[in-house]
A and B are shown apart, each in its own frame.
Chain A
Amino acid sequence: MRAPKSFEEGMDRLNAILAQMQQEDTSLADSVKLYAEAASLMQYCHATLEKTSLQIEEISAKIAETVEAPQEQEEE
């Protein structure tokens, strides 16, 4: 059982698990297995929802230096 890549994937999988569990012909053993998988997914999704600190990074724009001035004057 692997960790989901994203909250979205986690939720999608949880929905799929629920649908599978709701099917009449799913055996009890399979249900229990699905439930175990759901438990770890729920933990992941819960943690994602609980995360509160926003992370900010910076990237600098790659500006090609094409502008040139013929001469340079000093600001007075």
Chain B
Amino acid sequence: MADVISVSELNHYVKTLLDVNDGLFDLALRGEIANFVQNARSGHCYFSLRDDACSVKAVMFRTDARRLAFRPEEGMRVVVRCRATLYERDGAFQVYVNEMFPDGLGAAQLALEQLKARLEKEGLFDSAHKKPLPAYPKCIGVVTSKTGAALQDIRNVISRRWPSVRLLLCPVTVQGFEAARQIAVAIRTLDQSGKVDEIIVARGGGSREDLWVFNAEEIARAAFRCKTPLISAIGHEIDYTILDFVADQRAPTPSAAAELAVPDREEQQRIFENIEENIHKNIQKRLALCYNGLEQYNFLLEQSAPSKILQQYSNRLQQIQQTVRTQQKARMNDKSMQLQHAAALATSLNPYRVLARGYALVTDTKGKVCTVEQLQPEQLICVRSRQYQARCRVETVEEINESTQKL
């Protein structure tokens, strides 16, 4: 009978035996996943791999699990690269998984097509549900890796195009099977925060397998429920993920998403300056018009000013005065001429001048001229010549007989 040994010694011995076997150190194993759990705190994954007849326990540590491109599901057929050995504490034979792949991408693609068809039928891709992006967002939610190139690209583009916006980053891992859940939750968190005007879900490049996570139904449903406009920016040009179909806008790259998300500062600057210029021009034109109008009134006012009217009347008055003077002068001349004529006539008719030629004039005693036939005998009269007068008494008044008159 051999030596009595402890359990620890047994387990250690068996582990040593297994570990020296090269075939067990790095092997590819095909099987179906069962009882998959992930420890929330450590991130390590525990599950079984089985086939029709047997099963083996499996562990995938966090550092390896993080690189998973899909979420392992119950019953999923996978191929793993692993090392088979003994877990000494429990004496449990198990495999330590480094990498895990779906068993044949063909199967995964088929599942994807089925999911896509189902979601499409449910109306998750309907354009009627697509929300327009805000023209001038104030805050943009970003779901991406904190350390990835995608965030850097988004920052660069937005810094250039529209830096007045705020970015609210909800950091997630964008690879590994827990990524789907994190992304879905991040979308919901941002949507429900009420702080963001639109959301960008981004992943900068990667292989088809790396981006597979964005085909997750969980993300599709979160994106569909999201009330905030959502842009998908999964870094690939050719293939569409399911998220691309559900998103309100699909951008080929994170940079392109950032361009879609914000207006262009230079363009806005141009539009703004155009308005600014128009407003300035408008008020200037307006003022110019007013000044012109004022000028006109001023002119009219000057035209009709009292002084102007006075001037006009004054001018007219002067004209009239001139006319009056001219007419007066003309009349004076006329009258003066008439007077001269009259005077000349009067002079020529002056009876005293006749007296100078030797005639005499008969008057009564009061100097009134008398005709001879008016005289009465015994009447006192005056007979005057040019320089003398004689008081006389009438003796008789006789009619002179023409025939007896001696001439």
Please list the residues of chain A having a beta carbon within 8 angstroms of any beta carbon in chain B.
6-8, 11, 14-15, 17-18, 21-22, 28, 31-32, 35, 38, 42, 45-46, 48-49, 51-63, 65-73, 75-76
* In contact, B182 and A63 (Cβ under 8 angstroms): yes
* In contact, A57 and B166 (Cβ under 8 angstroms): yes
Contact of A67 among B37, B146, B272, B283 (CB under 8 A): B37
* In contact, B275 and A18 (Cβ under 8 angstroms): yes
Residue ID in chain A nearest B61 by CB atoms: A75
In the complex, given contacts A21-B283, A54-B163, A70-B46, what are 8 additional A-B residue pairs having Cβ atoms less than 8 angstroms apart? A7-B268, A45-B272, A52-B159, A63-B181, A63-B182, A63-B185, A69-B42, A69-B44
Can you identify 15 A-B contacts, CB atoms within 8 angstroms?
A8-B136, A17-B279, A54-B155, A54-B159, A56-B167, A58-B168, A59-B170, A59-B189, A67-B37, A67-B40, A72-B42, A73-B44, A73-B46, A75-B44, A75-B63
Residue ID in chain A nearest B278 by CB atoms: A18
Q: How far is the CA of A35 from the CA of B283 in the complex (A)?
A: 7
Q: How far is the CA of A32 from the CA of B287 in the complex (A)?
A: 9
Q: How far is the CA of A24 from the CA of B275 in the complex (A)?
A: 18
Q: Which residues of B contact A42 (CB under 8 A)?
A: 272, 276, 279
B369 beta carbon closer than 8 Å to chain A: no
Give the Cβ gap from B187 to chain A, nearest Cβ, in Å: 9
B62 beta carbon closer than 8 Å to chain A: yes
* In contact, A49 and B193 (Cβ under 8 angstroms): no
With contacts A54-B155, A59-B169 taken as known, whether A69 is within 8 angstroms of B279 at the C-beta atoms is no
**Those of B191-217 within 8 Å (CB) of chain A:** 193, 195
Please list the residues of chain B having a beta carbon within 8 angstroms of any beta carbon in chain A.
37-40, 42, 44, 46, 59, 61-63, 87, 96, 135-136, 138, 141, 146, 155, 158-159, 163-172, 181-182, 185-186, 188-190, 193, 195, 265, 268-269, 271-272, 275-276, 278-279, 282-283, 286-287, 290
Give the Cβ gap from B74 to chain A, nearest Cβ, in Å: 14
Contact of B39 among A17, A56, A72 (CB under 8 A): A72
Contact of A69 among B40, B155, B164 (CB under 8 A): B40
Q: Which residues of B contact A70 (CB under 8 A)?
A: 37, 46
* In contact, A49 and B265 (Cβ under 8 angstroms): yes
Give the Cβ gap from A34 to chain B, nearest Cβ, in Å: 8
* In contact, A72 and B44 (Cβ under 8 angstroms): yes
Q: How far is the CA of A21 from the CA of B282 in the complex (A)?
A: 7
Give the Cβ gap from A21 to chain B, nearest Cβ, in Å: 5
List the 6 shortest-distance A-B pairs measured between CB atoms, nearest first. Answer: A69-B39, A8-B136, A61-B186, A51-B164, A61-B185, A56-B167
With contacts A18-B278, A67-B38, A69-B38 taken as known, whether A6 is within 8 angstroms of B283 at the C-beta atoms is no
* In contact, B40 and A65 (Cβ under 8 angstroms): yes
Q: Which residues of A contact B271 (CB under 8 A)?
A: 11
Q: How far is the CA of A48 from the CA of B144 in the complex (A)?
A: 27
Q: How far is the CA of A55 from the CA of B137 in the complex (A)?
A: 13
Residue ID in chain B nearest A49 by CB atoms: B269
Give the Cβ gap from B258 to chain A, nearest Cβ, in Å: 11
Residue ID in chain A nearest B266 by CB atoms: A49
Q: How far is the CA of A32 from the CA of B280 in the complex (A)?
A: 11
* In contact, A6 and B136 (Cβ under 8 angstroms): yes
* In contact, A49 and B167 (Cβ under 8 angstroms): no
Q: Which residues of A contact B283 (CB under 8 A)?
A: 21, 31-32, 35
Give the Cβ gap from B317 to chain A, nearest Cβ, in Å: 43
Residue ID in chain A nearest B190 by CB atoms: A59
Q: Which residues of B contact A49 (CB under 8 A)?
A: 164, 265, 268-269, 272
Give the Cβ gap from A43 to chain B, nearest Cβ, in Å: 10
Give the Cβ gap from B358 to chain A, nearest Cβ, in Å: 105
Residue ID in chain B nearest A51 by CB atoms: B164
Residue ID in chain B nearest A32 by CB atoms: B283
* In contact, B168 and A38 (Cβ under 8 angstroms): no
Q: Which residues of B contact A46 (CB under 8 A)?
A: 272
Q: How far is the CA of A75 from the CA of B65 in the complex (A)?
A: 12
* In contact, A8 and B279 (Cβ under 8 angstroms): no
* In contact, A59 and B168 (Cβ under 8 angstroms): yes
With contacts A35-B279, A61-B185, A73-B59 taken as known, whether A68 is within 8 angstroms of B164 at the C-beta atoms is no
Residue ID in chain A nearest B197 by CB atoms: A6
